[in-house]
Amino acid sequence: MAAMTTTTDTAATLRLLAWLSPAFPTGGYAYSHGLEWAIETNDITDGATLRAWIDTIIRRGAGRSDAILLRHAHRAANDIAALQTLNELALAACPSRERQAESIGQGNAFRLAAAPWQPDNLRRLAVLTPDIAYPVAIGALAGAQHIPEDMACAGALQAFVANLISAAVRLVPLGQSTGLAVLAALEPAITETAEATRHATRDDLGGACFRSDLASLRHETQYTRLFRS
């Protein structure tokens, strides 16, 4: 029995690592989540300001909301009607056009790239809606594949943080060592947000990360842009 449990845990970990890897073709490298505007306006100039910016997003912004959405999608993994309703809420809650495009672009790409794992629930959802929010896609597949909810939530948050840091390393620019130091320093924000969202309801969606939301709006008309958001 112990060997079977170990095998199952290893398989779940391997799948999650594959889905959340930078090599998984979701196109996440093309999005900065408004960081490009924040860097142009000198809100982010070094490792310390980057850490503070991302910490706020994780605890009070899109990171927290996405964690809640992922958890609810995980629990509704085999209820297509519930997933459809949750997906509609996820897309409606995006504060800007670019944020919605960021979630849809990565969500649709994730659904296609996950084909080798036979995501039947995602295929059935696609019949009802052509676009899927990224956290809903991750949560629904993780739930269907029996990957622990807490593991999926923490993993998605960490991948989100790593992608933002990668964008900042290129934009500020920052050295790789600084980027890794920021990633290590944000571990408490990741683990505490994962814990804090465990019992969150849909009514808890939302946040108070206005500067980041404004960045996503202003990025739409930014004169020089390397990223899609």
Predicted confidence at residue 59, as pLDDT, reads 98
Asked if the structure places residue 49 within a domain, the reply is yes
Predicted confidence at residue 8, as pLDDT, reads 64
Domain extent at residue 210: 30-221
CATH of the domain at 123: 1.10.4190.10
Asked if the structure places residue 75 within a domain, the reply is yes
Counting as low any pLDDT under 70, the low residues of the chain are: 1-8
d(CA 50, CA 43): 8
Predicted confidence at residue 57, as pLDDT, reads 98
Asked if the structure places residue 17 within a domain, the reply is no
Domain count, the chain: 1
Q: In 3D, which of 33, 28, 47, 49 has the Cα closest to residue 214?
A: 33
Asked if the structure places residue 5 within a domain, the reply is no
Asked if the structure places residue 13 within a domain, the reply is no
Taken in order 211, 216, 217, 219, the sign of the CA dihedral is positive
Q: In 3D, which of 187, 168, 188 has the Cα closest to residue 178?
A: 168
Give the N- to C-terminal CA distance of the chain in Å, as an integer. 48
Residue owning tokens 């933002």: 164
Asked if the structure places residue 154 within a domain, the reply is yes
Asked if the structure places residue 62 within a domain, the reply is yes
Asked if the structure places residue 51 within a domain, the reply is yes
d(CA 147, CA 164): 25
